[in-house]
Amino acid sequence: MPGSAWISAHRSALVIFDGLFRLVRVRDASDYAEMSRALEPLIQLARKRGAHILATHHSPKMERGGGDDVLGSTAIFGSVDTLLTIRRARDGARTLSTDQRYGENLAETVLILEKESGRTVLGLSREDVTLQEIRVAILDVLRAASDALTEEEILAKVQGATGSKRTALRSLLEGNAIERTGHGRRGSPYGYAFPSSPEADSISRSLVPTVGMERENEKRESAA
């Protein structure tokens, strides 16, 4: 295996190949047996030298999830201990998730580029970011409303999955970030409003996520 002596001489703990098909030469990348034979020397090299070997690779155009997101034979996914997948969401955010042979998988998590250091770090999970963005939208809607709004009125004004919007609304209420009136029955439905007291207002602002605020500020700057 090319590089084996170099890895041994330098006692490399991490070896990165960019990309996999530049290192592994096969006639048919979809052939399970051929790919298994081609990848076996890499596995043996890692075991013999005690090095972690990471190889970049591509996904097919159609997103399928898990090991099926690997371009070529399933032997590629079957040969690794951890598959790290980077995706680009519709809103432009990039996320990282893992499928692992050992331990727990990393849920789809937003990657954040630190402008000052140039480093890429893990942020919140994609689900948490979505909920936080919905919280921001709900607070904006209530802040602009002259009267309390019912849950259905709020859901109609905010984008997102209904279940996520209901969860975000409940979390704002439980965190005392918004006020609720009414008795939740016919003739006296629950109404939700932006907090009237300075203390409650400060709570609502503390619950507004950094990620959501950054995106809202970007949108406002673009519109200005």
pLDDT in tens, 30-39: 999 999 999 9
| pLDDT for residue 216 | 39
Amino acid sitting at position 171 = S
Residues in contact with 56: Cβ distance below 8 Å, sequence separation at least 6, in sequence order: 16, 17, 18, 19, 20
Least confident of 12-16, 132-136, 213-217: 213-217
With respect to residue 163, please indicate whether it lies within any of the assigned structural domains: yes
In this structure, are 70 and 138 located in the same domain? no
Backbone φ and ψ for 61, nearest 5 degrees, come out as: -65, -35
In this structure, are 2 and 76 located in the same domain? yes
With respect to residue 24, please indicate whether it lies within any of the assigned structural domains: yes
In this structure, are 74 and 133 located in the same domain? no
| pLDDT for residue 7 | 78
Strands 120-125 and 109-113: antiparallel
> For position 139, which CATH number holds?
1.10.10.10
In this structure, are 134 and 65 located in the same domain? no
Average pLDDT value for residue range 125-132: 87
With respect to residue 95, please indicate whether it lies within any of the assigned structural domains: no
- Helix (H), strand (E) at residue 99: strand 94-100
With respect to residue 98, please indicate whether it lies within any of the assigned structural domains: no
Per-residue model confidence as pLDDT tens digits over 33-92: 999 999 998 888 888 888 899 999 988 777 766 677 788 898 999 999 999 999 887 667
With respect to residue 101, please indicate whether it lies within any of the assigned structural domains: no
| pLDDT for residue 169 | 95
Other beta carbons within 10 Å of 191: 18
| pLDDT for residue 211 | 45
Per-residue model confidence as pLDDT tens digits over 103-113: 999 988 989 88
User: Across the chain, which distance is largest between two alpha carbons, in Å?
Assistant: 80
The domain tally of the chain equals 2
State the average pLDDT for the chain: 83
| pLDDT for residue 158 | 95
With respect to residue 63, please indicate whether it lies within any of the assigned structural domains: yes
| pLDDT for residue 93 | 80
| pLDDT for residue 221 | 45
Average pLDDT value for residue range 134-158: 93
Per-residue model confidence as pLDDT tens digits over 172-224: 999 888 999 999 888 899 999 988 765 555 655 555 544 444 443 444 444 44
Q: Which domain holds residue 48?
A: 1-80
With respect to residue 194, please indicate whether it lies within any of the assigned structural domains: yes
With respect to residue 146, please indicate whether it lies within any of the assigned structural domains: yes
Which tokens sit at 80?
């690794």
**Residue after which a domain boundary falls, among 63, 80, 97:** 80
Secondary structure of residue 124 in the 3-state scheme: strand
